[in-house]
């Protein structure tokens, strides 16, 4: 089920406990989050599986993506897997995942985007777009190449990195299908209100284009 509005993805920090993530996920889903990425590099396959099962009790299973662990995504029957540069390729992941599960791929250039699309990715995550606390010392990529990627690939592109409710419209204006957020929601004192602020900003921009 694809939301017809701009998508709001939330990515776990890798620094919170399962109980904290459950609280954030439940609140963010109420606030308008579309997809949650379990990005927990330090956790085992068994732990990631336990996270999916626990999270599926507070939000729809079909809205949960597992980063890198294609095996866990397949076994859990969730929305799908999100792949990093060190992960399986989309075509390799497709052999493992069940029919209908989605494959995302993180990209950082037009060449990477074209390759991922050619290999069968269902959507791309591009960043970091704006200055980001999670990428200190690295210059942001901005929206110029993002605009080029969105124009040249036929699959949705999600912008990530330093995205706030105030600048989310710039990401959509570059041709993106949505945004992905980390600390803007996971570290918020009120994750539901934070997600709602993003949701409203995305929908407001969409409505302004009609």
Q: How does pLDDT run along the chain (210 residues), one tens digit per residue? A: 344 799 999 999 999 999 999 999 999 999 999 999 999 999 999 999 999 999 999 999 999 999 999 999 999 999 999 999 999 999 999 999 999 999 999 999 999 999 999 999 999 999 999 987 766 667 788 999 999 999 999 999 999 999 999 999 999 999 999 999 999 999 999 999 999 999 999 999 999 997
* Centroid of chain to Cα 83: 11
The answer to whether 162 touches 132, Cβ cutoff 8 Å, is yes
Gap between the Cα atoms of 172 and 159, Å rounded: 8
pTM confidence score: 0.95
**Helix or strand or coil: residue 201?**
helix
Alpha-helix runs per DSSP H in 61-142:
70-76, 90-96, 110-118
């Amino acid at each position: 089920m694809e939301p017809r509005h701009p998508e709001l993805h939330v990515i776990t920090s890798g620094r919170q406990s399962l109980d904290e993530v459950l609280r954030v996920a439940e609140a963010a889903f109420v606030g308008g989050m579309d997809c949650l990425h379990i990005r927990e590099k330090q956790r085992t396959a068994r732990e990631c599986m336990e996270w999916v099962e626990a999270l599926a009790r507070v939000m729809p299973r079909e809205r949960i993506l597992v980063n890198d662990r294609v095996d866990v995504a397949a076994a859990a029957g969730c929305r799908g897997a999100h792949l990093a540069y060190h992960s399986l390729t989309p075509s390799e992941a497709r052999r493992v995942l069940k029919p209908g599960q989605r494959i995302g791929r993180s990209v950082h250039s037009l060449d990477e985007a074209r390759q991922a699309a050619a290999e069968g990715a269902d959507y791309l995550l591009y960043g970091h777009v704006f200055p980001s606390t999670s990428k200190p010392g690295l210059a942001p990529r901005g929206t110029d190449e993002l605009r080029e990627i969105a124009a040249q690939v036929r699959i949705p592109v999600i912008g990530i990195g330093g995205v706030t409710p105030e600048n989310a419209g710039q990401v959509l204006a570059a041709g993106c299908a949505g945004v992905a957020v980390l600390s803007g929601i996971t570290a918020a004192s009120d994750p539901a209100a934070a997600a709602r602020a993003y949701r409203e900003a995305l929908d407001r921009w969409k409505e302004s284009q009609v």
